[in-house]
């Protein structure tokens, strides 16, 4: 298909001016651009390849920014960006000072809602539709949600309220059987039962011709007389013990589909019909995640979100050492083989958390609950009441969603749930929705919780072993994205004493306390300060809570300056805890803190962002020297 003669698309108006027969060529051009661009920048390739035709149809029928598109999770918004004046900037996606990898309200007037976590879009869209109704507006509100979003509790809470709050809302259910990993649970099975029913196969083949015939002057007649029967035809009989309609009708939402999500004319005609309806509607479309690129079709998990890759082969660069996630998965799996009480829980992310190995080797004790972090935490609490040892493995940024359960169910009842928070710290090019910069703050004030962070892979496994053998209450560990320094775990892990820091070297002028992945910066700063003639103590704190105040106080009483370093926001972070404890002890030695500022940190590589915000050796040394002069 020749794409060379297509005009530039700089706005939705350009798309609308393009002849309908040219849209398949534009779809091919978009896919080629994405595949080539993301091979250099990394990003969410698979999800975006799956929604090319859908996004073209949406912008063909509706008019943003007046009409509102709310994407869930918004990582599939790259085509939307390209069609709304950002095509020439797509090569900057996820790069510092470039386009964000998710929708961002401050980036474009066409981005009406920003998000990076699943399950938020339907409630937000309902709010927009209700606001429109209150103000007498006539714009359309369209919520685009992947099938995995329907495993989130907030989606069901929103569905429970839609019919009561608005008469006009369009929901697009993008069904591709994947969130990040393959979808799990009853909802996923429900959608699959619809799409794979033998009756659907025939309907799917005839759908384009059928809609082409009816979506004209007979559209309303079709909707009234055919729609209700068609969905019962395609729904498996085992799922419909009565003649009642599908799940969504019980919430007062009219269901249409499933239809081919890659048939542009069919999608356009369907949206033209749906925008006239004065009732909440849901359109169920079937799409292929990774469509148009064989490596992405062959490995949807890998191509959900990845770094640079070879366009021809899809291969990514090999690393010479395992990531923290991989170390975690291997260690906990090995522990579980010797302890039948250990189980692993994750929320739709066995690959990202390193638990794929646990899933493969111990499937009966592996639990993927879908994108349902609140349920995951409660589920772990229930297991813990019966003597099971749950390793609750969720990214730091997603564990925020389970805060109430951590306080109300886990901590108050003193249940020994092991919280393993991957991506604790900066998450680089994913940006503010994914940085794990708040977990110290949201856990530090909860009574009874133990919290720690390792400085290398060997200590990491020791900490996991300590967690496996700790049963006095909730215990948490945070660890960074990607690789560590390369200190491979010893053959037999060691039990660590709770609340006992590791003193690397003594000193009388300055005490540097480097938490976790900031320890190498503290180590390098020590060398520079010693080159200036200063005596510098270096401490690996290990424990965020409880702090080893015997150790920290003893150094604070003899040095002139204490400096803490953390991959976390400074407000209510690790350094703040040190200041509080020293103040309570009546010790007034100045404490310099290195960490992230009181703002949402933008996206970019860790090296760029650390330099910009002062998480560097140079800034540490400068601040210590300035404090010494005072």
Q: How far apart are CA 253 and CA 464, in angstroms?
A: 47
Coil, strand or helix at 346: strand
- The most distant pair of C-alpha atoms in the chain lies apart, rounded to whole Å, by 88
Residues with Cβ < 8 Å from 556, sequence gap 6 or more? 511, 562, 582, 587, 589, 591
Gap between the Cα atoms of 430 and 395, Å rounded = 13
Give the span between the Cα atoms of 343 and 367, in whole angstroms. 8
Q: Tell me how long the chain is.
A: 630
- Marked catalytic residue, from 60, 254, 359, 373: 373
Residue in 382, 384, 395 with CA at minimum distance from that of residue 350 = 395
571 close to 579: Cβ distance less than 8 angstroms: no
Told to judge if 289 belongs to the known catalytic residues of this protein, a careful annotator would answer yes
| Matching residue, tokens 């509080």 | 580
Positive/negative CA dihedral, 386, 441, 495, 551: negative
Q: Let me know if 17 is exposed, middle or buried by CB neighbors in 10 A (0-12, 13-18, 19+).
A: exposed
Quote the CA–CA distance of 393 and 416 in Å, as a whole number.
14
CA atoms within 13 A on the CB side of 76: 33
CB distance 584 to 489 below 8 Å? no
SS3 string of 568-626?
A: EECCCCHHHHHHHHHHHCCCCCCEEEEEECCCCCCCCCHHHHHHHHCCCHHHHHHHHHH
| CA atoms within 13 Å, Cβ hemisphere of 368 | 25
- What distance in Å separates the CA atoms of residue 186 and residue 135, rounded to the nearest whole number? 39
One of 289, 359, 418, 610 is an active-site residue; which one? 289
User: Which listed residue (302, 359, 389, 401) is catalytic?
Assistant: 401
Tokens of 204: 């799917």
* Residue 393, φ and ψ in degrees, nearest 5: -110, 105
Query: 206 catalytic, yes or no?
Result: no
Whether residue 326 contacts residue 354, with contact meaning beta carbons closer than 8 Å, is answered with yes
- Distance between CA atoms of residues 151 and 162, nearest Å: 17
Helix (H, G, I), strand (E, B) or coil at 385: helix
Is 220 a known active-site residue? no
Q: Which residues belong to the active site?
A: 289, 373, 401
């Amino acid at each position: 298909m020749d794409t060379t003669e297509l005009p530039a698309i700089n706005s939705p108006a350009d798309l609308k001016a393009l002849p309908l027969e040219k849209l398949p060529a534009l779809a091919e051009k978009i896919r080629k651009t994405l595949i080539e661009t993301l091979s250099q920048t990394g990003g969410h390739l698979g999800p975006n390849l799956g929604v090319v035709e859908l996004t073209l149809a949406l912008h063909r029928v509706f008019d943003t920014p007046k009409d509102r598109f709310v994407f869930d999770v918004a990582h599939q918004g790259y085509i939307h960006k390209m069609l709304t004046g950002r095509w020439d900037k797509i090569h900057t996606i996820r790069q510092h000072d470039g386009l964000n990898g998710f929708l961002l309200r401050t980036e474009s007037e066409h981005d009406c809602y920003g998000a990076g976590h699943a399950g938020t879009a339907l409630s937000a869209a309902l709010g927009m539709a209700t606001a429109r109704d209150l103000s007498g507006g006539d714009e359309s509100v369209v919520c685009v949600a992947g099938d995995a979003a329907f495993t989130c509790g907030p989606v069901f809470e929103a569905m429970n309220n839609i019919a009561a709050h608005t008469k006009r809302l369009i929901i697009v259910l993008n069904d591709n059987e994947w969130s990040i990993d393959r979808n799990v649970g009853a909802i996923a099975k429900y959608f699959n039962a619809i799409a794979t029913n033998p009756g659907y196969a025939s309907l799917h083949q005839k759908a384009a011709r059928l809609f082409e015939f009816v979506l004209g002057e007979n559209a309303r007649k079709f909707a009234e007389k055919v729609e209700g029967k068609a969905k019962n035809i395609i729904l498996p009989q085992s799922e419909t013990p009565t003649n009642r309609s599908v799940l969504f009708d019980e919430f007062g939402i009219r269901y249409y589909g499933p239809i081919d999500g890659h048939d542009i004319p069919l999608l356009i005609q369907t949206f033209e019909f749906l925008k006239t309806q004065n009732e909440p509607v849901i359109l169920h479309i079937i799409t292929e995640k990774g469509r148009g690129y064989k490596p992405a079709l062959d490995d949807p998990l890998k191509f959900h979100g990845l770094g640079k890759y070879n366009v021809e082969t899809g291969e990514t660069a090999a690393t010479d050492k395992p990531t923290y996630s991989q170390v975690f998965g291997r260690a906990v799996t090995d522990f579980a083989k010797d302890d039948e009480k250990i189980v692993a829980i994750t929320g739709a992310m066995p690959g990202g958390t390193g638990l794929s190995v646990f899933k493969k080797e111990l499937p009966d004790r592996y639990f993927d609950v879908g994108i349902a972090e609140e349920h995951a935490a409660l589920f772990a609490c229930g297991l813990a009441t019966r003597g099971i040892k749950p390793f609750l493995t969720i990214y730091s940024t997603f564990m925020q969603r389970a805060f109430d359960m951590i306080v109300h169910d886990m901590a108050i009842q003193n249940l020994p749930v092991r919280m393993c928070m991957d991506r604790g710290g900066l998450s680089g090019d994913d940006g503010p929705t994914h940085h794990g910069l708040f977990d110290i703050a949201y856990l530090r004030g909860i009574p009874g919780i133990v919290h720690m962070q390792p400085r290398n892979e060997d200590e990491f496994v020791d900490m996991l072993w300590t967690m496996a053998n700790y049963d006095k209450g909730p215990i948490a560990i945070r660890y960074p994205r990607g690789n560590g320094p390369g200190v491979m775990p010893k053959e037999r892990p060691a039990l660590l004493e709770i609340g006992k820091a590791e003193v690397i070297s003594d000193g009388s002028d300055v005490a540097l306390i480097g938490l976790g992945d900031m320890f190498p910066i503290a180590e390098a700063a020590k060398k520079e300060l010693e080159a200036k003639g200063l005596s510098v103590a270096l401490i690996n704190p290990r424990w965020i809570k409880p702090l080893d105040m015997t150790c920290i106080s003893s150094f604070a009483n003899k040095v002139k300056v204490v400096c803490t370093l953390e991959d976390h926001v400074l407000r209510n972070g690790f350094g703040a805890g040190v200041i509080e404890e020293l103040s309570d002890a009546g010790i007034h030695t100045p404490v310099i803190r290195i960490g992230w500022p009181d703002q949402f940190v933008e996206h970019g590589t860790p090296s760029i962002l650390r330099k910009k915000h002062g998480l560097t050796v140079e800034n540490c040394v400068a601040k210590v020297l300035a404090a010494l002069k005072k």
